[in-house]
Amino acid sequence: MQLFVGLGNPGRKYAGNRHNIGFMAIDAIASAHGFGPWRQKFQAEIAEGRLGGLRVTLLKPQTFMNLSGQSVGEAMRYLKLTPGDVCVFHDELDLAPGKIRVKTGGGHAGHNGLRSLHQHLGPDYHRVRMGIGHPGQKELVTNYVLQDFAKSDREWLDPLIEAVGREAGRLAAGDAPGFMSAIALATGSGRSGKPDPVSTPAEPGRSENRQPDQAAAKPDSGPESPLQRLLARFTRQ
């Protein structure tokens, strides 16, 4: 048994928000693989079915994002699962729109839904990080994630969500690289399909507008010629 969780906020008001891409992914999985019917349990909407030959419960917490861990923790304990049996789909500011990475362990990076999951499950669950891009300034983040996707976003969002639903069986089977490669092929993204390292060190508290680390580069002077070495020898004398 595995537990696939989508993060989001309940209600029509939030249904199209960037923050709700996790709900969209779970709905796509349910539709593509005949899960259902949806019912209320664990402070969530749940649906049961199979991905390949594996039993999977789909879960969408109805607690609002900041309390997602209450619902997921309750479901995990009732179903007698471990964090390693849980896979969470969520929005990711630090990835470009449409980019996907699968990760196990690590920090919550300031994501309030993941922060709540950490409190109730610990960090050692699987995540599908679904890129929504960054608005560019930290103070714009809250409004950005709580806004609906723009019409222009549908060009990448619709194929992405459809592919995630169709290829979810690869995740259930433990084939994260195969899942990401299939998504890249289906969406034309051309990404390599390499998962993030397992149990990566906790990320620092997210600076929502952080820039990529830049290592100081040293100029490459290239190999010395015999003449240069000879001149240097006499210069040192």
Q: Per-residue confidence at 189, pLDDT binned at 50, 70, 90?
A: low
SS (HEC) of the chain? CEEEEECCCCCHHHCCEHHHHHHHHHHHHHHHHCCCCCEEECCEEEEEEEECCEEEEEEEECCCHHHHHHHHHHHHHHCCCCHHHEEEEEEECCCCCCCEEEEECCCCCCCHHHHHHHHHHCCCCEEEEEECCCCCCHHHHHHHHCCECCHHHHHHHHHHHHHHHHHHHHHHCCCHHHHHHHHHHHHCCCCCCCCCCECCCCCCCCCCCCCCCCCCCCCCCCCCCHHHHHHHHHHHC
Q: What is the pLDDT of residue 230?
A: 43
Overall average pLDDT of the 202-230 stretch: 39
- pLDDT (tens digit, 9 = 90+) per residue, 32-89? 999 989 999 999 999 999 998 899 999 999 999 999 999 999 999 999 999 999 999 9
How many angstroms separate the CA atoms of 226 and 174, rounded? 56
Is 197 a residue whose pLDDT tops 60?
A: no
What is the tens place of the pLDDT at every residue in 105-147? 887 777 889 999 999 999 999 999 999 999 998 899 999 999 9
Q: Is the pTM of this model over 0.95?
A: no
Answer for the pair 112, 93: CB distance below 8 angstroms, yes or no. no
Q: Quick one: fold of 2-210?
A: Rossmann fold (3.40.50)
Q: Where are the domains of the chain?
A: 2-210
* Catalytic (active-site) positions: 19
